[in-house]
Chain A
Amino acid sequence: MTDAGFVIAAYGVILGGIGLYAAMLARRLRSARDASRHGDEVDAER
């Protein structure tokens, strides 16, 4: 692999990984908020 190949592999994995982790966090946060809201509605019905 050339130097450019190593640079692309390093930047690609690191920046891509950060983006992926941020997206995964946003998705987990959204589903946790939905679950929390659903729980509040069930409590209110009781």
Chain B
Amino acid sequence: MKTRILGFVALAAVIGAAVNGLFVVPADLNQGDAQRIMYVHVASAWLAYSSFGVTALAGLAYLIRRDLRLDALALAGAEVGVMFTAFAIWGGMMWGKPVWGVYWQWEDPRLTTTALLLALYIGYLLLRRLTDDPARRAARAAVVGLIAAVDIPIVHFSVIWWRGLHQGPTIGDPSRILNPSAPLQFVLALLAMLAAFTLVWVYLLIRRYQLARLEWQLEEDARRGRVRAAQQAAVSRPAVEEPAR
């Protein structure tokens, strides 16, 4: 019930933040209306980082405590993270074409490392399908989730370390926290969208976690059913008499 209320609150927050970003905040002087894409693009990218951070931390905790609930949380983070990464890339492409003149450029380090991040976590989700053994699956996934998480800081700092088309970091530059380069209205609209998307993110994470636990329970029931059926078949099978010597 609480999760359902959270869902409605998140929905209202996203509608409010989207109306604000699309119709209330003025268009940028240089980029025009295309700059409005920044609100959903940055929020998606930030939540992609957070999701994969959850996957890495839950995976690490699983390797230490061997609790399958942590694996369910890691899975939830990865799936939701893949979705937000895809949306960040899409938003970036829609913003890039009118501003840069191209949808995509492989030479840009931010774009390429983000594409790699998406590929890594799609691989993570595919790897989970390779085995039915929950403990083995969780351990393998935890290791891959931790290795893939190395790409998160690379994506974030790529705009500082290397030169490319992409602008500098919108969030996370300590020198700009008290003196942002963007107008205050833009910063507030971005923070509102970030808050709304975070509510959605928490809601989706909870729902995906609940689903992962239920699926695991069903897998476990099916496994027990197969064992029971095999035992019954063994009991009902007529005994084979040994041939007389």
B-contacting residues, A3-44, CB 8 Å: 3-4, 6-7, 9-11, 13-15, 17-18, 21-22, 25-26, 28-29, 32-33, 35-36, 39
In the complex, the answer to whether A11 meets B204 with C-beta atoms within 8 Å is no
How many of B's residues come within 8 Å of A, CB to CB?
33
In the complex, the answer to whether A7 meets B217 with C-beta atoms within 8 Å is no
In the complex, the answer to whether B37 meets A7 with C-beta atoms within 8 Å is yes
The total of Cβ contacts below 8 Å across the A-B interface reads 78
Complexed CA–CA distance, A28 and B215 (Å): 10
Complexed CA–CA distance, A15 and B40 (Å): 9
What residues on B are CB-neighbors of A39 within 8 Å? Answer: 218, 221
In the complex, the answer to whether A25 meets B214 with C-beta atoms within 8 Å is no
| Shortest CB distance B189–A (Å) | 13
In the complex, the answer to whether A29 meets B207 with C-beta atoms within 8 Å is yes
Query: Contacts A21-B83, A33-B214 known; A7 to B34 CB distance under 8 Å?
Result: yes
Interchain CB contact (< 8 A) of B218 among A1, A18, A21, A35: A35
Interchain CB contact (< 8 A) of A14 among B32, B91, B97: B91
Looking at chain B's contact residues, is the secondary structure mostly helix, strand, loop, or mixed?
Answer: helix
| Shortest CB distance A7–B (Å) | 5
What residues on B are CB-neighbors of A7 within 8 Å? Answer: 22, 33-34, 36-37, 94
Complexed CA–CA distance, A21 and B208 (Å): 10
In the complex, the answer to whether B210 meets A11 with C-beta atoms within 8 Å is no
What residues on B are CB-neighbors of A1 within 8 Å? Answer: 97
Let me know if B95 is at the binding interface, CB within 8 A: yes
Q: Which size bracket describes the interface of A in this complex? A: 20 to 34
In the complex, the answer to whether B204 meets A21 with C-beta atoms within 8 Å is yes
Let me know if B156 is at the binding interface, CB within 8 A: no
| Shortest CB distance B100–A (Å) | 12
Let me know if B14 is at the binding interface, CB within 8 A: yes
Kindly report which residue of chain A lies nearest to residue B87, judged by CB atoms: A14
Q: Which 8 A-B pairs have the closest CB atoms?
A: A10-B94, A32-B214, A3-B33, A10-B37, A3-B34, A14-B87, A6-B94, A25-B207
B contact set with A: CB distance below 8 Å? 7, 14, 18, 22, 32-34, 36-37, 40-41, 44, 83, 86-87, 90-91, 94-95, 97-98, 200, 203-204, 207-208, 210-211, 214-215, 217-218, 221
A contact set with B: CB distance below 8 Å? 1, 3-4, 6-7, 9-11, 13-15, 17-18, 21-22, 25-26, 28-29, 32-33, 35-36, 39
Q: What 13 additional pairs, Cβ within 8 angstroms, besides A7-B34, A18-B204, A25-B204?
A: A3-B33, A6-B34, A7-B22, A9-B94, A10-B37, A10-B95, A11-B37, A14-B87, A18-B87, A29-B211, A32-B211, A32-B215, A39-B218
